[in-house]
Structure 1
Amino acid sequence: MWQVLPDEYIRAQMAVGALVVFGVARVVAAAIGAQRGWRIPVVTNWFIGVAGIFCAPQMLEVLLVASSHPAYVELQGKVIGCAVALFCAPIVSHRLGYE
């Protein structure tokens, strides 16, 4: 009755979700930071910390639970999405003139 989704679908869904959330939030934070005089390295470090907190539940489950394959797949997707977003968002912010 319940069909299990393939790992690729779960990984892709988590990656796209993290990419959208962190990409948009990072560009918005750069825009706000440019108006208020925040230093861009501080904003970047803050988002790296938030990405770590975002991935923490799956990381804890992978470390503490023996049979945690779904959590490992979700963790892979989140890490990939966060990494791509935190790499590409400064490029977009720079193109928009915020950095």
Structure 2
Amino acid sequence: MEMQSLQEALKVEIQCHQKLVAQMKQDPQNGELKKQLHERQTRITSLSEKQILLSMARCIITAPGLDVESSVAFLEMSIRITISVHSGKGIK
């Protein structure tokens, strides 16, 4: 998935999330709305992470003079940060 597709998908998910939030204000005890809201949040998080990783990969690929070992180390660190942020455990 390229960056433009990711951004468009993220935009759609956020718009749907906003509509669900508005519906939840009208019916805060609706279990189905809560489930849908959680699913949207999960998709938004996933798309955001993909966007971050794609941006990092592009930086690595286009970085002048960056050797393979440094590129791999940078990417590994970036992935660890992304995973730790997503899991809420902090950076290790």
TM-score of the superposition, structure 2-length normalised?
0.46
Larger Rg: 2
TM-score of the superposition, structure 1-length normalised?
0.43
Structure with higher RCO (Cα < 8 A, 6+ apart)? 1
